[in-house]
Chain A
């Protein structure tokens, strides 16, 4: 395996992507809004609940309809703390999963379909790299960037969530064990889904926008998780998040296997 060539392609892809405002701006703005601004808005939730005239009885009723595990996690907290923890820890968890998926899909769309559109792929195919090295390099550029953005976003969120909720919680309450499993087990797996889908979609797409639109359905399962969590149908705990990660890793394996089969020089050349 020619690691020098692999890193050269990763360097090239990331440099090229970093020059594309259409790709970079959403990658910066979405995490900033979610992890720097949203915690401050969500920690105002108890005040908003009071303004809306919702009594503590109403909130207790809402929590009583939540899964038992979540009720246990919130027990021992006062009502303001319960609302803060409910939003910042549990409601935000599925939203967080959108970030690595979005970053990986965007970079992969630019790296696979965008390269075809810019007609820069042909020169790459004439280099001594093997199909496997090219495929690995293309996957890694999206994967590494997605994990880096997600980890940076997580670090920012840890600071912002604790800072924003300090007046209510009075101590560092975040992250909990569920989030740590999510960050170190689920987040590294998620880019694989976005990348795998984009590899398959890019072979049919004419360019970056085309691939991006075709591949955007990849976030639907995460939206589904958000709805399930919000409605109380599921509850993100350590076990569920671990199982979720396992399913995603298996899905990665399948998608990457399918992608590697379609990633052939001749096909990329349009033959």
Chain B
């Protein structure tokens, strides 16, 4: 796979604060890469570094084969950035905003009008193109900012909290668009977010950042397997044997790590990972409990995140 971004030991200090600390990772062409971390974890600083807007304290990086420090303008002509705040000129109309940025990004003059029309229609803003942006809702501003980031058809798109503050419908629309850009139009998307549900749904791979340090990297599935050591399962047994099943589960404290409870005609219990499932099943069967169904609830990035966060806290 072609690496679109290669970061090696990247570090950025702001006086005494270390915003990005020895960060190393690769982002591959065509993937949606999630960059997770709480506020102040170093996500936005990394985006600024990768676009040559600020300089690193140490370390190196290549983005689209270019060094952001040396080839900043060339690089920025090939990337699009949606900043955390939409940062539109609110005294101007949507059309003016896009037309000025089309000039700044060097969109061929003859294509400017058509491209703006296309994007405004795409983002459902065509009817209000000649209105000042100050009258727009937050969702509309965010959509317009995304349209601006896409004006010049960038190969690599940085999205910093793309759906922050949007209502669920607007957020859904933006997420659909991100997915389409990556899957159908083959853009690479570098997505900073602290919305873990969104990252789980959209991202091919994610990196988790804590205090500027990379603490985890992989696909959502890999990370859940690696970091989530608790697994909630539902076990459906013969109704008359429920009491016996409860006793079996209680007799396995190292495998069934929570008190089993009856819910919706099944028993719910937390196991100590995937590996505990066959042993629990074997114990139940050994006691002649008839097991009709055993269903593990999929672990998610939220659990990974909290597991990692817990580790970080304990390290400190």
Contact = CB atoms under 8 A, between A and B. Distances in A.
Contact of B87 (A4, A20, A119): A119
B83 A126 contact: yes
A270 to B, nearest CB: 9
Contacts of B52: 265
Given A12-B100, A266-B53, A266-B55, A128 B92 contact: no
Contacts of B87: 118-123
Nearest to B55: A266
A29 B150 CA distance: 42
Interface in A113-145: 118-130
Interface in A16-46: 16, 19-20
B76 A127 contact: yes
Nearest to A130: B73
Contacts of A269: 48, 53-54
A265 B54 contact: yes
A265 B81 CA distance: 15
A8 interface: yes
A15 B96 contact: yes
B53 A19 contact: no
Interface residues of A, number: 29
Nearest to A123: B87
Given A118-B89, A122-B83, A266-B54, A128 B100 contact: no
Given A126-B81, A130-B73, A271-B48, A8 B103 contact: yes
Interface size range on B against A: 20 to 34
Contacts of B53: 125-126, 265-266, 269
Contacts of B55: 266
A65 interface: no
A5 B104 contact: yes
A126 B53 CA distance: 7
B156 to A, nearest CB: 12
Report whether over half of chain A's contact residues are helix, strand or loop; otherwise say mixed. Answer: helix
Nearest to A265: B53
A107 to B, nearest CB: 14
Contacts of A130: 72-73
A9 B92 CA distance: 13
B103 A128 contact: no
A174 interface: no
- The interface centre, meaning the residue of A7, A123, A125 with most chain B CB atoms within 10 A of its CB, is A123
Nearest to A12: B100
Given A16-B91, A269-B48, A271-B14, A4 B76 contact: no
Contacts of A119: 85, 87
Interface in B68-109: 72-74, 76-77, 79, 81, 83, 85, 87-92, 96, 100-101, 103-106
Contacts of B14: 271
Given A118-B90, A123-B83, A271-B14, A7 B76 contact: no
B105 A127 contact: yes
B51 interface: yes
Contact of A19 (B81, B85, B91, B106): B91
A127 B96 CA distance: 16
A11 interface: yes
Contacts of B81: 123, 126
Nearest to A134: B104
B92 A12 contact: yes
A124 to B, nearest CB: 8
Contacts of B51: 126
Contacts of B83: 122-123, 126
A4 B53 CA distance: 21
B90 A128 contact: no
Contacts of A11: 100, 103
Contact of A123 (B48, B106, B148): B148
Contact of A15 (B72, B85, B92): B92
Nearest to A8: B103
Contacts of A15: 89, 91-92, 96
Nearest to B134: A19
A208 to B, nearest CB: 12
A120 B88 contact: yes
A8 B92 CA distance: 13
B91 A127 contact: no
Contacts of A120: 87-89
A9 B48 contact: no
B83 to A, nearest CB: 5
The 4 lowest CB-CB distance pairs between A and B, nearest first, are A8-B103, A19-B91, A128-B77, A127-B104
Interface of A: 2, 4-5, 7-9, 11-12, 15-16, 19-20, 118-130, 265-266, 269, 271
Given A128-B74, A266-B54, 19 more contacts: A4-B106, A5-B103, A8-B103, A12-B89, A15-B91, A16-B92, A19-B92, A118-B89, A120-B88, A121-B87, A123-B83, A124-B104, A126-B76, A127-B76, A128-B105, A265-B53, A266-B55, A269-B54, A271-B54
14 contacts: A4-B106, A9-B104, A15-B92, A16-B91, A122-B83, A123-B81, A123-B87, A123-B148, A125-B53, A126-B81, A128-B74, A129-B104, A265-B52, A266-B55
